[in-house]
Amino acid sequence: MKPNLRRPKNYFITSAQQLAALILSEPLKHAGIKGAAIYGVSLLTGVAILPVAVVATFAGKDNAQQDINAPIDHLYEISLEVLKRKGKITKEQKSGGLIEAVAEGANVNSKLKSVSANTAHITISARKYMLPKPEIASGILYQVSEQLQK
């Protein structure tokens, strides 16, 4: 019988994804979460595998939306006015119904879509450090609604 003289395979970090997977998996390993999905797969595939809770957070709902009884042009002007008061406008595209701003430390997007002649759909989304901030989006939508009633 021959002894097994095969050398163990050396693993080298060859990409940023592999390094990220290793960095992400180490704390989880010590927390008792080194199960199949995080620790094993990330090391075998060499791709960073984020925990489901983290992915759900990054992909979570970041917006507030509503149909409002107002012409789209008027709603656009009110939205622009509210966002200017709350922060700094970074991009506006009236023809596309898009306003981008930084407000309350978050990146805020306002998108308008005409539903009928006197009704428009508004979606306001907000993210801060890539994390969804629906409370900021809802607050801005509330202020837009209040401003429309004046």
List pLDDT tens digits, range 44-100.
444 444 444 443 444 457 889 999 999 999 999 999 999 999 999 999 999 889 999
* Beta partners for residue 98, in sequence order: 93, 111
β-strands 63-68, 87-93 pairing? unpaired
Residue 120: its H or E element: strand 119-128
55 touches 103 (CB < 8 A): no
Say which residue the tokens 């094993």 belong to: 40
Q: Which two tokens stand for residue 5?
A: 């003289």
Residue 61 has what pLDDT?
79
Q: Which two tokens stand for residue 114?
A: 């005409």
Other Cβ atoms less than 10 A from the Cβ of 103: the count is 21
Domains recognised in the chain with CATH numbers? 16-57 (no CATH), 60-149 (3.30.530.50)
Q: Where are the beta strands (DSSP E) in the chain?
A: 63-68, 87-93, 98-103, 106-116, 119-128, 131-132
Residue 19 has what pLDDT?
64
Whole-model pTM over 0.75: no
